[in-house]
Structure 1
């Protein structure tokens, strides 16, 4: 029986908010859209099931009142299992292989916003464990091979008879001479010292798709570290980090920016050209535009990660009021205020939807 608390990686007395945060973190890491491996899919199911139980206070309370995992019922140990685990019944599982799977690696990749919009090709240089070219993973000097261990006869295990409360019991344990491999290497490879792998710098070509965002991980199977004895390489994970841009920020597939407009242009309307993330963009400011209005230019945002087309470029208007004016300009502004019968300053209704969309932009 799997312990749901262990599945989510939280303590049994964790608060509901901690459980929710742990689930969201694991779901982002294991979701099939991000991590397509079979192992991740199985773990994602386990994590989802654990949260279904622990995420609801009532079902969590019922779960906590039940038997502790591993203390009874399906999946618990009986006396025979304990005896077999500790004493082995004089049997062994045979020698272990020198070829071991390599470890996974994690590499952070910094991208500019322009890289995210269209995707980018990178040549990544990483320090990792690679196959030894001298012995090609065999771990032995060229022209030699491992020899059968004389201590264990090639089984990888030795047996001992010991006295216990249950009488004389035969135990099996890894051979101390060959470390359980069943063979010894009289002449290790001089390049890798008998490991079958060496540390070296590799260059890995990677095509990073458009639409990725900070925190997303790209999975590259077989590009991690080569295992001991020339074992299969693990997985290299690329964790994306998008650098801050001085002009634009991102909201999903949309790009957000601020367009400063003079008072006359806001009142009369104007056309202008601004430099977008991928070249010039024609922008029309309609007559009567107010601060906080949003001008949307379609298909000039970020290329969608899964799907066709691009998001929008959204420019929040900021009407710029001159801080210093000469006498003639002041006279004209007073005349404008009188002719338009401009009302005195007053509170207006809070525009929540617009503020929510543009608040990150105006914080820069």
Structure 2
């Protein structure tokens, strides 16, 4: 089953502004938050779905691409998004500020601000370019690409610690990630909660760092990434694969891999939106007398009939031989532009023949009026009667 429309998920119209979208997201997130629906997988799915919709519609660039291309324009595989979708850590990490501070959603549901958070820093995003042929764009393609980046340290599994015993509970906050202070004010005693300065809110301290990564949790290496690219993508379109960027430090989540689409030039075909263009060159005799010619398409060669009297500038259409839309709503056509070729470097005999033709009254362009007389005279010329 495909993804629901993001506007439908948040219950807003396409004309909704940023504040309306944010307000709608907060309302849904409050309704389906895991703290309010413990053990309810359906509520958790709706919570994630709303976060995914908000991630796109709250970003002007992503929203514009979504409005134009649908899910395929903003996500990765099977919707261009991450292969595994958004996790709770992703959601809390990215959108916690909407609900105010520290522990995402905490203050909104009566909890104290602050609180233990995942140790480590999120990895940075990576950007790569993938060049595709028109044939690959027409059918869609899966690319396997080796990406050089920061990868998780295999020795410590990203923890940054030499061994399990090298991770201790923070003595300052007792593993809570926050410290609380009670102060007396003229209004009475006030309790404040701040992130623990000793462990930076993780609740843990690494006492002995991993020798391989020196405590960072990541090392420079490479990973082969499989990218599923749907049919119909365009030059300049960007696809995002969540979690395929640089590994995070000290166990933090990985960044995203941003894939920029480039189009390779075709030897004889060109693209115009979803239409494919082919320039067909005919000599004067074939254009005047008619002929059959083979023309290339993205899938095979097709024979077309050129009727007699075809003029330069004539366009033939091959229905459905163009490119599909990225949303899969239809396929363009192939347009064949006729060009009547003017020969160069003529022999003396050929020049004399053309001069004879030029002297004929009916040779001059008056479409539809003198065609029969012209060919009669040509017949007489070649038979020696003129």
TM-score over 0.5 (shorter chain): yes
- Please say if 1:129 is aligned against 2:168: no
1:27 maps to 64
Q: Tell me what 1:244 maps to.
A: 265
TM-score for both structures, normalised by structure 2: 0.60
**Cα distance in 1, alignment partners of residues 345 and 148 from structure 2:** 59
Deviation readout 1:287-328 (Å, 9 max, x if unpaired): 111111012234433355444885432221111123454454
How far 1:99 sits from its partner (Å)?
5.2
2:131 paired with 1:110: yes
Aligned partner of residue 332 in structure 1, secondary structure: helix
Pairwise CA distance, 1:161:
7.3
Equivalent residue of 1:154, what SS?
A: coil
- Partner of 2:175, secondary structure, is coil
Q: Residue 116 of structure 1 aligns to a residue in which SS?
A: helix
The offset of 1:275, in angstroms, is: 4.3
- Tell me the equivalent position of 2:279: 258
Q: State the alpha-carbon separation in 2 of the partners of residues 7 and 196 from structure 1.
A: 40
Residue equivalent to 1:156: 177
Asked if 1:297 is matched to 2:297, the reply is no
SS at match of 1:195: coil
Match of 2:362 among 340, 347, 352: 340
Deviation at residue 217 of structure 1 after TM alignment: 2.9
What is the SS of the residue equivalent to 2:71? coil
Tell me the distance in 1 between the aligned counterparts of 2:242 and 2:61: 24
Q: In the TM superposition, what whole-angstrom CA distance separates every residue of 1:106-150 from its partner, at most 9, and x where no partner exists? A: 322111223222333322111233222112233211242421223
For the 8 Å contact 2:124–2:256, the answer to whether it is kept is yes
The more displaced of 320-329 and 156-165 is 156-165
Structure 1 segment 224-235 matched on structure 2, within 5 A: 224-235=245-256
CA contact (8 A) 1:297 1:313 kept: yes
SS at match of 2:151: strand
Segment of structure 1 superposing worse, 299-308 or 144-153 = 299-308
| TM-score normalised by L of structure 1 | 0.63
**Following the alignment from structure 2 to structure 1, what is the Cα–Cα distance between the partners of residues 18 and 199?**
39
Q: CA, structure 1 residues 174+285, in 2 after alignment: closer, same or farther (shift >3 Å)?
A: same
Structure 1 regions of 5+ residues with no counterpart? 9-21, 40-74, 78-84, 86-90, 346-364
Give the superposition deviation at 1:7: 10
State the Cα distance separating 1:253 from its structure 2 match. Answer: 2.8
Q: CA deviation at 1:268?
A: 0.8
Match of 1:203 in 2: 224
| Alpha-carbon distance between aligned partners in 2 of 1:268 and 1:320, rounded to the nearest angstrom | 14
Aligned match of 1:355: none
Match status 1:287 vs 2:308: yes
The answer as to whether partners of 2:319 and 2:332 remain within 8 angstroms in 1 is: yes
Aligned partner of residue 95 in structure 1, secondary structure = coil
Q: How many residues align?
A: 287
Distance in 2 (CA, whole Å) between partners of 1:308 and 1:163 is 66
- Runs (5+) with no aligned partner, structure 2: 1-15, 22-58, 87-97, 101-106, 368-386
Q: Deviations over 1:236-292 (max 9, x none)?
A: 332211123342111233210211111111111122234444443323222111111
The 1:237/1:316 distance shift into structure 2, 3 A limit, reads: same
Task: Decide whether the 8 Å contact of 2:121 with 2:249 is kept in 1.
Answer: yes
